[in-house]
Amino acid sequence: MNKEVSELWPELAWIENNDLREKTAKTWELALQRSVLTGDDLKRIPFTLLCGPDLKVTFMDHKRSVVHIAKDAGNTINSMYNGELTVDMDVLISGAILADVGKLLEYELDENGKAVQGTYGKYLRHPFSGVSLAEECGCPPEVCHIIATHAGEGNMVKRTTEAYCVHHADFMTFLPFKERLKV
């Protein structure tokens, strides 16, 4: 696992299966190689442009928080549903870490060096490009399913419990910012 990825994602250490942890990290390494953005950019840029450039929640703050919230949800389900509803924590954590990895391919730099949505991102939103990157790195289908279904596109799909956890963790921390614009 390279240093840039391990510094961006301390949560990779929560994945117990060595093979899955490595494949998850490798997917981020590949995305960074192909992206106009660097790890430092991700720790600096706001996670949504909806609230202007001064938002104090960075891209990484949001992505990491989704992993933390989804993990808490998965642990609660595993401890309180008497085995009737179970969550594979490795799959959940890997999928949560990879949910937005495809966003790194959505950006291009404009003539002023500012990151804007590019042609690739216009045609293939990050749930699709994320699956493509993850499969290239050998991630299993149950993890790719979480990437594929974490956003609105996934409303057409029968989600796994792990995918529901990631979807809701993502949207509960995004929609309130979007709602602010309506006030």
Burial readout 64-99 (b: 16 or more C-beta within 10 A, e: otherwise): bebbebbbebbeebeeeeeeeeebbbbbbbbbbbbb
Interaction between residue 100 and Fe ion (CB under 5 A): yes
CA distances from 169 to 12, 65, 103 (A): 18, 8, 17
* Interaction between residue 5 and Fe ion (CB under 5 A): no
> In this structure, are residues 166 and 99 in contact, taking their beta carbons and an 8 Å threshold?
yes
- Nearest-approach distance from CB 145 to Fe ion, in angstroms: 14
31 sits near Fe ion (criterion: CB under 5 A): no
Q: Which residue has the tokens 């042609």?
A: 119
- Figure out which of the listed residues 12, 25, 101, 151 binds Fe ion, where binding follows CB under 5 A: 151
Determine the residue with CB nearest Fe ion: 100
Say whether 178 sits in a helix, a strand or coil.
helix
The answer to whether 106 contacts Fe ion (rule: CB under 5 A) is no
Q: CB 126 → Fe ion: shortest distance, Å? A: 6
Closest CB to Fe ion among residues 131, 151: 151
147 binds Fe ion (CB under 5 A): no
Are the C-beta atoms of 80 and 150 separated by less than 8 Å? no
Which range binds Fe ion by CB under 5 A, 3-11, 31-39, 92-100, 173-181? 92-100
Minimum distance between the CB of residue 170 and Fe ion, rounded to whole angstroms? Answer: 6
Residues that bind Fe ion (CB under 5 A): 100, 151
